[in-house]
Structure 1
């Protein structure tokens, strides 16, 4: 998922110390390649309050003891996605198990962070213009899994951990979701008019998401929405024919952002991914194609040049950039 605004650039990879995170999360410098700061201190603050209140903090406590003193990334997520003490409290009442369960997702960060560093090193190699503002891992109101603008990536740990239809391996899920969101960072910086459009069409938003999925596959080894391959198998032409009929609509609800914790959605991600992949496959200069995928300004022109058509058979992705 995405959003866009002001650019902030951080050019050193700094990653969290996991041991003792519940008491005091920290960030340390790493000798790994260029990449982002990954902040987890908001999660530590949330669970300190959670444990002190036996899992039942009030809306006021959540607001004043967790959100208000939180990180810049948490404040940005709150601003973009209406995260308040009251909205978190309501989600905790409705879905108490996801907040109790989210702690287990922290266990994937020590190895997951190294894989993220590798994926984003790959991004920098394939797309030299890449910039690396911070990643903030925090606790929200049960959604979204991720929200991104040019200031960075914000991941809702409880949502990332709770969605039942995403990649079952939590470490893989973390890595591929961050890789997807980092493509959005580049889009927000390179093409803010498109990325920030408040009334996008189905084709525009699907190509924004699909380009991020394709970039995640190139850099991390997989798309973030791994479930869609099985859901769409054997139905490619029918789904994509229906997509063409809706591509100029501004009602996104049939194609995007329509999943729940237990029900998959987002077929527009899959169609957009296939269009981006077709563009890449038909390009003679793969490195240039990656730049044109991430710097996309005119989705209709991109679609026309992609060689895509409903039901197209695509090949295995070559991540060499050659």
Structure 2
């Protein structure tokens, strides 16, 4: 059985090299009618765990990181980091990787229609925005996804944890397809962003979740949404307290991600405060974005302003959000 699986993976790698090349759209970016999921690097990684093997750093460097595609290239600097770190992650959670290889990697071709439906929805909502290529890879277990200007990358070992059902995986991947696409259109290097890092991050992530909900018809992370709605006024008070404290702290402004108040809301996958869902700040930003568009006489223009995010404080004020 294991030999058959290995042979199937080799066949899939070869086949995917012919099928997963993104087709350009005349306006730039990927054509939504031909959008596909490039899983060639994920397939190469899967071969390293065949026959019960646990790859060493040397094997991962030679057979995965060296000569990797664009997805692994984007995922490496802040997530994979290097072969040694990846090898430690795989050795510590080998069952997680094996589960994702066995249960979810084969499901990717069936998600092509979902990806194209989401991209067609984005093409209708924001026709001037180029759509990114999509890569699925295996990382160091610390990130479900990220984006560059022209591509989004999804870490399969995080989006397909042990116990994930096919329906859960489909829902999660739809959310990632939509959320990470929005990140390819955003920037976060304005002076206002540096002066208000917690609100800026909330809007970067929250706008992505808000637009994802529009094109998928589903609120990203239903569990987090249910938890937050039950305690929205209190949650907003906590957010505002941390936000204002960070604005007064020069060390926090210089390096927000090193501040425990920032990590209370973001970058806490697997390490959220006790009783909290991870990344609760996404939900706060989503609610502000919803309110901003609802209060605007021109919803399409409001969405464009949310993507530009020139002044987070002005966005918050105009939204009228104050639960």
Please tell me the TM-score bracket, short chain as reference: 0.7 to 0.9
1:59 maps to 57
Counterpart CA distance in 1 for 2:148 and 2:60 is 25
Would you say 1:298 and 2:311 are equivalent positions? yes
In structure 2, the CA distance between the partners of 1:73 and 1:205, relative to structure 1 (3 Å rule), is same
* 3-state SS of paired residue (1:21): helix
1:170 maps to 169
In structure 2, the CA distance between the partners of 1:297 and 1:198, relative to structure 1 (3 Å rule), is closer
Counterpart CA distance in 2 for 1:261 and 1:160 is 16
Contact residue 178 and residue 216 of structure 2 kept, 8 A: yes
Counterpart CA distance in 1 for 2:55 and 2:285 is 41
In structure 2, the CA distance between the partners of 1:182 and 1:309, relative to structure 1 (3 Å rule), is same
Q: Which structure 1 residue ranges, 5 or more long, are not aligned?
A: 1-17, 311-322
CA apart distance, 1:223: 3.4
CA apart distance, 1:143: 1.8
Counterpart CA distance in 2 for 1:261 and 1:161 is 18
* 3-state SS of paired residue (2:199): helix
Contact residue 164 and residue 261 of structure 1 kept, 8 A: no
Counterpart CA distance in 1 for 2:35 and 2:217 is 19
CA apart distance, 1:224: 2.8
CA apart distance, 1:175: 0.9
* 3-state SS of paired residue (2:135): strand
1:227 maps to 223
2:249 maps to none
Task: Give the number of aligned pairs.
Answer: 289
Kindly provide the CA deviation profile for residues 62-108 of structure 1, in whole angstroms up to 9, marking residues without a partner as x. Answer: 01111112102211211232432211210112111111101211233
Contact residue 206 and residue 287 of structure 2 kept, 8 A: yes
Contact residue 259 and residue 266 of structure 1 kept, 8 A: yes
Contact residue 24 and residue 44 of structure 1 kept, 8 A: no
In structure 2, the CA distance between the partners of 1:100 and 1:165, relative to structure 1 (3 Å rule), is closer
In structure 2, the CA distance between the partners of 1:73 and 1:307, relative to structure 1 (3 Å rule), is same
Would you say 1:74 and 2:84 are equivalent positions? no
2:6 maps to none
Would you say 1:117 and 2:122 are equivalent positions? no
* TM-score using structure 1 length: 0.81
Kindly provide the CA deviation profile for residues 246-293 of structure 1, in whole angstroms up to 9, marking residues without a partner as x. Answer: 224233111112121897311100100000001111122222122122
Would you say 1:210 and 2:206 are equivalent positions? yes
Counterpart CA distance in 1 for 2:226 and 2:209 is 16
1:272 maps to 285
* 3-state SS of paired residue (1:109): helix
* 3-state SS of paired residue (1:141): coil
1:255 maps to 265
Q: Which structure 2 residue ranges, 5 or more long, are not aligned?
A: 1-8, 26-30, 247-255
Counterpart CA distance in 1 for 2:162 and 2:199 is 26
Contact residue 166 and residue 225 of structure 1 kept, 8 A: no
Counterpart CA distance in 2 for 1:200 and 1:164 is 39
Larger-Rg structure: 2
CA apart distance, 1:226: 2.4
Counterpart CA distance in 1 for 2:268 and 2:110 is 31
Pairing partner for 1:245 from 241, 252, 269: 241
Contact residue 71 and residue 135 of structure 2 kept, 8 A: yes
CA apart distance, 1:45: 0.6
Counterpart CA distance in 2 for 1:198 and 1:78 is 25
Kindly provide the CA deviation profile for residues 116-167 of structure 1, in whole angstroms up to 9, marking residues without a partner as x. Answer: 1111211121112211231111111112100112131111111111287999
Counterpart CA distance in 2 for 1:95 and 1:137 is 19
Pairing partner for 1:90 from 74, 82, 88: 88
Contact residue 131 and residue 150 of structure 2 kept, 8 A: no
CA apart distance, 1:181: 0.5
Counterpart CA distance in 1 for 2:311 and 2:33 is 30
Contact residue 35 and residue 120 of structure 1 kept, 8 A: no
